[in-house]
Amino acid sequence: MYPGGLFGLDALQALISPVALFGILFFILYLRNDGVRAGRAIILLLCVAVAAFLGAKLFSLYVRDWQPYQPLSAEWRGGLRYPGALLAIVFVGPLLKRWILPSLPLFRFLDVLAITVCFAFALVRISCFMNGCCTGPECDSVYCLSYQPGSQVWYLQLQAGLLDHSAHPSHPVLPLHFLFMIASLGVGIFLMWFDGRRSFDGQIALLYLVLHEGAKGLLESLREPYVAQLQMTSLLMSATGLLLLIIILRRRA
């Protein structure tokens, strides 16, 4: 069942600070032997997090045809889309690194950031479970979950006239957010293992695009309701990463 928040806070509001703290600690500890200045690294990651938040918000508005939630205060409680965060990290992250932490090689920064993002986004999926969002189609298997009134999937089913009464929980659905979580964790563990075997700096970041975005793009086909922009963006970024990886490996060979 959908837990319905934590200590009266929205799930994302409750988790965003712990996830950010985890990401900062993970990034710094991972690069502890590279002489990275912790203070500047913290500032850099906080700036990257703000850029990712703004990117996720803009992409969410794009998916909604630029129609904000009503009341506007609801925009703080939700309305974030992962592809926008990733695009912001890819395009803004290198500029922030050059400005705040120029001593860290760019491609090494992207490699470690990719691994960090895998685990951070896996943790963010807990908020998806608590909010009852990012779910799949209705199902009746043992692993399917029903969510309480107030969750996103309940609201969608209520709007579609699928519930007999507003007090009823949602029909059981595929907990797709857990599959997203498993994909992020699996890719993150693999990238950590492969990091010591990489052929060049930047290879981990490209593998992140290929594997993480490829897996996410495939899983997006199970989302209910289906959002074409989410799937196409992930698949396009995966294909771009694969093309760049092939070109670089061919040139090195």
pLDDT for 214-243, tens place per residue? 999 999 999 998 999 999 999 999 999 999
Compute the radius of gyration of the chain from its Cα atoms.
Answer: 19
Please give the pLDDT value at position 214.
97
pLDDT tens sequence across 77-92: 667 888 899 999 999 9
Please give the pLDDT value at position 8.
38
Question: CA quadruple 89, 20, 212, 180: dihedral positive or negative?
Answer: negative
- The pTM for the full model equals 0.89
In this model, does residue 1 exceed pLDDT 80?
A: no
Provide the terminal-to-terminal Cα distance of the chain, rounded to the nearest Å.
Answer: 53
Looking at the chain, the whole-number percentage of residues with pLDDT higher than 90 is 61
Mean pLDDT of the chain: 88
Q: Which two tokens stand for residue 128?
A: 């998806």
Most confident residue range from 51-55, 84-88, 148-152, 200-204: 200-204
- Calculate mean pLDDT across residues 111-119: 96
Position with higher pLDDT, 60 vs 180: 180
Predicted confidence band of residue 177 (pLDDT cuts 50, 70, 90)? very high
Please give the pLDDT value at position 163.
87
pLDDT tens sequence across 25-61: 999 999 887 778 889 999 999 999 999 989 999 998 9
- Calculate mean pLDDT across residues 155-170: 86
In this model, does residue 76 exceed pLDDT 80?
A: no
